[in-house]
Amino acid sequence: MARKGGFSSAEDRGLPKVKISKSSLKKALRLFYYIGPYKWRFLLGLVFLVLTGITAIVFPRFMGLLVDSSQISLDRINEMGLKLLVLFGLQAIFSFFRVVLFVQVTENMLLSIRKATYAHLIQMPMSFFAQRRVGEINSRMSADLAQIGDTFTTSIAEFLRQFIIIVGGIIALFFTSLKLAFLMLAIVPVVAIIAVFFGRYIRGFSKKVQDKIAESNVIVEETMQGIANVKSFANEFFELLRYSKKSEEIKSLAITGGKARGAFFSFIIFCLFGAIILLIWFAVKLESEGLLSHGDMIQFMLYTVFVGASIGGIAEQYAQIQKAIGATERVMEILDEPSETIQLPTTSKFSVLPYKRLEGNVRFENIKFTYPSRKEVEVLKNISFEAKKGQTIAFVGPSGSGKSTITALILRFYEPNTGSIYFDEKKSSEYTLTDLRNNMAIVPQDVLLFGGTIRENIAYGKPDASMEEIIEAAKKANAHEFISGFPEGYDTIVGERGIKLSGGQRQRVAIARAVLKNPAILILDEATSSLDSESERLVQEALDKLMIGRTSFVIAHRLSTIRNADSIIVIDKGEVVESGTHTDLIEKQNGLYRNLSKLQFEHEKLT
Ligand SMILES: Nc1ncnc2c1ncn2[C@@H]1O[C@H](COP(=O)(O)OP(=O)(O)OP(=O)(O)O)[C@@H](O)[C@H]1O
Ligand SMILES: [Mg+2]
């Protein structure tokens, strides 16, 4: 009776169970909020569930009466046969509606939870993502929601149905024969409970085996992804040893588990059949003494089987419900985390909300900042600077000095601890995040392309852009030429499953995105640092065009690219140590910028 498929799939997910307590139950009940308008269907489903439980309990009684009717008359036999047929007909109908209703309710509930969780996740502040691994978030979205779904469609229903059968069946047993009922109650639950614990012990093994398999899969995945590393270090044998060791562990665990499973089967066969034989023996004795009719005996056996199976099954359903409550708690935890306030359109069709266009004046005033995940390190110490609209401001400084952090603050990924950021002489807090970010575009060092066509990737800067606009943007980004070179042109699939673009090509796609977005403020985080000189020229040319008429913040290691900046701000250990134009800074004796320039100039002469 236990739904075997159910627990094996849940076992795959490896979700922990939680003790059901008042507070965890309270959290779980919040799920019902997502059932919303479907709660009546849920109740109706429960009614059908109870009806299937009742028909299940009536069945052994009817069987008993059918057997005994052979002693009465042919009419009575036919009558009981017909009644049984009707009973099963009803059971079939009830079961159908129960399943359909529960699935409808659950799928609608899952849909609203999925949407709510994703909407919430995507609006989380950056600090949330810095503290969690993507895999963990992903498993919330998949494993936890799948567990909730399974539990709502099946486990809760099975749990209640088996509960009805256990209670109803035991009552019916006592009505059938007191003596037999006491004997049965002394044996069957004990065997069933031992079987449950034994079964759990065995499943512990298969869980361990699965964990080991997962670990060995990680090895395969890592080495395949980093195959160039493995080969270049000639570490094939090292990896092979690592994999073999894990595989050996899998083998020994699985064999030990197999022995336990064998013992389990022997135990079940012996105890179960032993118990049945004992009961039949006792029942036959009672029958021969005239204390029990033949029909009552059949009826009794059927009730025993039903109750026994339900006791065995209900523990599993309970475990599933516990897991689902844990899953619910974790999902609710995400939903309870404070998110950023981002305005989403309320329509179901895609649209870009109109936003206020900035002029592009930006000012940092005494900004101090620590990352929320590393409170003890002050990454920015009292940073002040000003960018007038249309100016180019360059940040220069050693690695880890805080340059990227400054751009993260401009984008308002984080809030500074003290000090204020002004946009067009108004405090950043006076704008909505959506308004601010709609006015900015970033060309990062490592451009991420989404799985899809090049056209879609460029259109990410303006999702409702026309094809003409996209081509225009690509031309401005020096990307049109290489895109047209592909057989499929703008419909070339890129990203994980598509073709791989070179670093410079990806950069130019990112620039095209920024061109389409037409932002007032532009952030270039080492946009050319990883490129060879030819693609650097193409990218730099595109960037120069893009920067015209916008306030641009440029982070560059190669100082030759920022010579013409309106102001160069030299950052060291989170502080502004120098600032001014190239000519100002190059004249400073012992200045950091002068030294860095000299080093690079000599280096370039050498190469
Ligand atoms: N998300 C984060 N959480 C905690 N600390 C961080 C985070 N990002 C950066 N840091 C730390 O903040 C400091 C400044 O980092 P930042 O990325 O701003 O440096 P950078 O000047 O851009 O360096 P690079 O030139 O190497 O890109 C570093 O010490 C870094 O370890
Ligand atoms: Mg950086």
Distance 423 CA to ligand 1 centre (A): 24
pLDDT for 6: 35
User: What are the CA-CA distances from residue 200 to residues 146, 216, 326 (Å)?
Assistant: 22, 24, 19
Predicted local distance difference test score (pLDDT) of residue 3: 36
Atom number of ligand 1 nearest to Cα 398: 25
Between the CA of 140 and the centroid of ligand 2 the distance, in Å, is: 30
Q: Are residues 280 and 401 in the same domain?
A: no
For residue 406, the ligand 1 atom closest to its alpha carbon is 18
CA of 531 to the centre of ligand 1 (A): 22
- Round to whole Å and give the CA distance between 489 and 220: 35
Considering every ligand atom shown, identify the ligand nearest to the alpha carbon of residue 444 and give its number: 2
Q: Which residue has the tokens 């890129």?
A: 494
Contact 467, 455 (CB under 8 A): yes
pLDDT attached to residue 206: 81
DSSP string, 374-385: -TTS-SEEEEEE
Parallel, antiparallel, or unpaired for β 575-580 and 567-572?
antiparallel
Specify the pairing of strand 362-369 against strand 380-387: antiparallel
- One domain for residues 157 and 261: no
**Do 336 and 265 lie in a common domain?**
no
CB 49 within 8 A of CB 161: yes
What is the whole-number distance in angstroms between the Cα of residue 132 and the centre of ligand 1?
A: 17
- Total domain count for the chain? 3
Nearest-atom number in ligand 1 for the CA of 402 is 18
pLDDT in tens, 89-136: 999 999 999 999 999 999 999 999 999 999 998 999 888 887 777 777
Report how far ligand 2's centroid is from the alpha carbon of 443 (Å).
12
Amino acid in position 471:
I
Ligand 1: residues with CB < 6 A are 130, 371, 373-374, 379, 397, 399-405
Tell me the two tokens of residue 433. Answer: 């995040």
CA distance 6 to 467: 49
Is position 74 within any domain? yes
Examine residue 445 and state whether it is found in any structural domain, yes or no: no
Tell me, yes or no, whether 541 lies in a domain: no
Partners of residue 221 on adjacent β-strands: none
Q: Which of 340, 366, 398 is the last residue of a domain?
A: 340
Q: Is 266 exposed, middle or buried (0-12, 13-18, 19+ CB in 10 A)?
A: exposed
Instruction: Based on the fold, state whether residues 158 and 219 are members of the same structural domain.
Output: no
342 closest CA partner among 425, 421, 413, 416: 413
The answer to whether residues 123 and 28 belong to one domain is yes
Q: Which domain does 46 fall in, by range?
A: 21-176+323-340
Torsion of CA 307, 310, 315, 319, to 10 degrees: -160
Best residue among 404, 529, 596 to mutate for probing ligand 1, ranked by most atoms within 8 Å of CB: 404
Domain-located, residue 521? no
Give the CATH number, domain containing residue 604. 3.40.50.300
DSSP 57-111: HHHHHHHHHHHHHTTT-HHHHHHHHHHHHHHHHHHHHHHHHHHHHHHHHHHHHHH
Closest CA to 521 of 555, 565, 554, 551: 551
Q: Cα 410–414–415 angle (5° rounding)?
A: 90
pLDDT digits (tens, 9 = 90+) for 484-534: 999 989 999 987 666 788 888 888 899 999 999 999 999 998 766 666 777
Amino acid at 334: I
Low-confidence residues of the chain, pLDDT below 70?
A: 1-14, 347-348, 351, 496-498, 527-531, 604-607
CA separation for the pair 36, 34 (Å, rounded) = 5
Identify which ligand lies nearest to the alpha carbon of 396: 1
Tally Cβ neighbours within 10 Å of residue 532. Answer: 10
Give the ligand 1 atom nearest the CA of 445. Answer: 27
Distance 406 CA to ligand 1 centre (A): 10
Measured in whole angstroms, how far is the alpha carbon of residue 318 from the centre of its chain?
24
Tell whether 400 and 429 lie within a shared domain: yes
CATH number of the domain where residue 110 is located: 1.20.1560.10
Find the 554 Cα to ligand 2 centroid distance in Å: 11
Alpha-carbon dihedral sign for residues 471, 475, 479, 483: positive
Residue 527 is predicted with a pLDDT of 66
Count CB neighbours of 183 within 10 A.
18
> What is the number of the ligand closest to the CA of 397?
1
Tell me, yes or no, whether 240 lies in a domain: yes
Is the same domain home to 132 and 204?
no
Span from the CA of 584 to the centroid of ligand 1 (angstroms): 28
Q: Which two tokens stand for residue 73?
A: 């008359």
- Is there a domain that residue 10 lies in? no
Phi and psi at residue 569, to the nearest 5°: -110, 120
Q: Which atom of ligand 1 has the smallest separation from the CA of 571?
A: 21
Shortest-distance ligand to the CA of residue 398: 1
Task: Quote the ligand 2 centre to 525 CA distance (angstroms).
Answer: 7
Ligand 2 centroid to Cα of residue 545, in Å, is 23
Q: 185 with 283, same domain?
A: yes
Q: Name the residue at shortest CA distance from atom 29 of ligand 1.
A: 400
Strand arrangement, sheet containing 418-423: 380-387, 362-369, 418-423, 426-427
In ligand 1, the atom with minimum distance to the C-alpha of 574 is 14
pLDDT tens figures, 302-360 = 898 888 888 878 888 888 888 888 888 888 888 888 888 777 777 667 767 778 889 99
C-alpha R_g of the chain: 35
371, 413, 554: which to mutate for ligand 1, most atoms within 8 A of CB? Answer: 371
Atom of ligand 1 nearest to the CA of 557: 25
Ligand closest to Cα of 402 equals 1
Same domain, 329 and 392: no
DSSP for 433-493, please give it.
Answer: HHHHHHTEEEE-SSPPPPSEEHHHHHHTTSTT--HHHHHHHHHHTT-HHHHHHSTTGGG-E
Q: Whose CA is nearest to atom 5 of ligand 1?
A: 371
Ligand 1 pocket test target in 405, 525, 528, 572 with most atoms within 8 Å of CB: 405
Q: Which atom of ligand 1 is nearest to the CA of 401?
A: 21
Spatial CA neighbour of 562 closest among 577, 583, 578, 576 = 583
What does the DSSP assignment read for 109-159? HHHHHHHHHHHHHHTS-HHHHHTS-HHHHHHIIIIIHHHHHHIIIIIHHHH
The fraction of the chain above a pLDDT of 70, given in percent, is 95
C-alpha neighbours within 13 Å on the C-beta side of residue 457: 29
Read off the pLDDT of residues 437-459 as tens digits, 9 standing for 90 and up.
999 999 887 788 888 899 999 99
What are the phi and psi torsion angles at 125 (to 5°)? Answer: -70, 160
Same domain, 271 and 368: no
Cα of 483 from ligand 2 centre, angstroms: 29
Residue with the smallest CA separation from ligand 1 atom 26 is 399
Residues 165 and 286 occupy one common structural domain: no
**What local confidence, expressed as pLDDT, does residue 11 receive?**
43
Q: Assign 428 to helix, strand or coil.
A: helix
Long-range Cβ contacts of 80-87 (<8 Å, 24+ apart): 84/59, 87/55, 87/58, 87/59, 87/62
**How large is the greatest C-alpha to C-alpha distance in the chain, in angstroms?**
119
Atom number of ligand 1 nearest to Cα 395: 21
Q: Is 111 among the domain residues?
A: yes
Specify whether 41 is located in the same domain as 163: yes
Q: Is there a domain that residue 30 lies in?
A: yes
Check residue 606 and give its pLDDT: 65
